[in-house]
Amino acid sequence: MENIIIIGAGGFGREVKCLIEEINMSSAKKFNILGFVDDGIEKNTLVHELRVLGNIEYLESLLEKPSLVFGLGSPTLKKAIFEKLKEFNFPVLVHPKVSTNGKNIQIGRGSLICEGTIITCDVIISEFVTINLSCTIGHDAVIGMFSSLMPAVNISGEVLIEESVFIGTGAKVINQLTIGKNTIVGAGALVSKSLPNNCTAVGMPAKPIKFHD
Ligand SMILES: CC(C)(COP(=O)(O)OP(=O)(O)OC[C@H]1O[C@@H](n2cnc3c(N)ncnc32)[C@H](O)[C@@H]1OP(=O)(O)O)[C@@H](O)C(=O)NCCC(=O)NCCS
């Protein structure tokens, strides 16, 4: 049994708890979920029968280090929290109903893939990537570190998603395009041309509406 703590006890954190329980039911590898940590929820609050153990500082104070998983989708938050917790183990968590039977699929540590996602072949998923429910990832796609794909996102073949990109629910990216670092793609967008770094792009076709640091 591998002890594990979920970072974030909000809606996605609770979904990650269910994901781990479904992995436990269907695979030889078993996790013992110790609880959640969350900066915004009072210590000892019960969330789906598990305790909030404290905040991020609680983890830093632990002598015996459990494994950790991100139960939050914000690339910026994942990156900032990881900077404080570099010595911890972050396992890869893949729901049993994810299709990863193609050849040459790499999945980096701390990445999490939810139920119903299909990943074809020759795909690189870097570290700390979150792929939510029912996404599709086509051949030769690369998903950069800390990036997050919300439910039902479609990434076509040979797409490059750079570091810390957030793609809103139902968005589609057509083949051979690049989405630049730190960019946010709005829910339902159709990305038909590459997008630069540090922008928020929405619509069909997706166009930048603002730039941020
Ligand atoms: C794109 C997004 C990040 C913008 O958030 P924001 O920076 O707070 O921007 P605002 O809400 O102020 O919207 C700015 C403008 O863009 C429009 N807009 C926002 N999101 C849009 C979208 N997805 N598609 C089209 N237009 C959108 C707004 O209506 C607003 O238009 P206006 O200036 O004419 O009033 C957000 O709307 C979004 O789509 N988030 C994804 C959420 C998601 O997928 N969650 C998954 C949960 S599981």
Tell how far the Cα of 13 is from the centroid of ligand 1, in angstroms: 23
Q: How far is the CA of 171 from the centre of ligand 1 (A)?
A: 12
State percent of the chain over pLDDT 90: 95
Residues 6 or more apart whose CB falls under 8 angstroms from that of 33 comprise: 4, 5, 6, 17, 20, 21, 50
At residue 81 the predicted structure's pLDDT band, cuts being 50, 70 and 90, is very high
pTM over 0.85: yes
Model confidence over 47-59: pLDDT tens digits?
A: 999 999 999 999 9
The residue contributing the CA closest to ligand 1 atom 18 is 202
pLDDT single digits (tens) 16-35: 999 999 999 998 889 999 99
Q: Quick one: fold of 93-196?
A: UDP N-Acetylglucosamine Acyltransferase; domain 1 (2.160.10)
For residue 50, report the distance from its CA to the centre of ligand 1, in Å.
33
CATH of 2-84, one of 3.40.1160.10, 3.20.20.140, 3.40.50.20, 3.30.930.10: 3.40.50.20
For 178-202, what is each residue's pLDDT tens digit? 999 999 999 999 999 999 999 999 9
Residue 213: pLDDT over 90? no
Domain borders along the chain are 2-84, 93-196
